[in-house]
Structure formats: structure tokens, C-alpha cells
Amino acid sequence: MKNKNEEKKGEPEPGKQGEERWKEICEHWVHCIDGEVYEYNTSDRTKIEEYFSQDAEILEWWHERPDESLYLTLMIYPQKKVAQNAVGIWGVDVGNGMDNREFEEDDYEGVINFLNEI
């Protein structure tokens, strides 16, 4: 169940350092089992390509779909030091009220670093 803090908080405050900065661009809620959860979503192709810059398989799949609206979701569980990602095509794999993507575990520190650079 989402709480009142789940709305996006907007741009991070200038000068914020470390782990706290990335939290300001994510949606936040508390899950009864997983504890705090942060979620980042984007359909910006430049950010998606940057995120997967070291993943040749995803980049090949991505480049085969130049006209599709891609959608990336990052899920971060700071208490467990776990991060996951899922990418798909809007309206096919993910859309209003549906999500058929598979989430894959990702490098926690790498995800945090990526979000801090946004």
C-alpha cells in the first residue's frame, strides 16, 4: 500500500550528496514485506540507452525498435541493498494498469550511481 510520500518529489536539491540525492527523483512508499521501496520510471530513450550502455543484448533489442516507446523502471530496496530493473514497450509490455515485464536483479551501487548522475 502506498503512503502520502509516494508522489514524485521533483528535482533534487542542488548540492545534495551521496545516497540521499537519488531518493528525490524516485517515487517512495513503504511495503509491508519489503520495507522502503523507491521506484524510478522513464521513457527517455537517451537515459535508457545510457543505463544499458554495457548490456549488448538489451542494446541490440533496443536498437531494433527505433519507433517504439520504451519504458524503464528501476526498483530500489535500500534496507536490503537490492535493486531491480525492467524495460519494455509501452502499450505492449507495460501500460496503464498492466505490466508484463520481468524484473531482473541489478547492481545496487550501480543503480544508485546512475540515479545520482541524473
Alpha-carbon distance of 1 to 28, in angstroms, equals: 11
Contact indicator for 83, 74 with CB cutoff of 8 Å: yes
Which residue range forms the structural domain that includes residue 59? Answer: 4-116
Contact indicator for 114, 85 with CB cutoff of 8 Å: no
Nearest to 81 by CA among 57, 105, 104: 105
Q: What is the pLDDT of residue 18?
A: 56
Q: Lowest mean pLDDT: which of 4-8, 12-16, 25-29?
A: 4-8
Alpha-carbon distance of 66 to 39, in angstroms, equals: 25
Asked whether residue 98 carries a pLDDT value surpassing 90, the answer given is: yes
Alpha-carbon distance of 11 to 6, in angstroms, equals: 15
DSSP-based helix, strand, coil % in the chain, nearest 5: 30, 30, 40
High-pLDDT (> 70) share of the chain, %: 84
Q: How much is the average pLDDT of 35-56?
A: 94
Please state the domain count of the chain: 1
Q: How much is the average pLDDT of 95-116?
A: 95
- The CB density around residue 116, as the number of other CB atoms within 10 Å, is 17
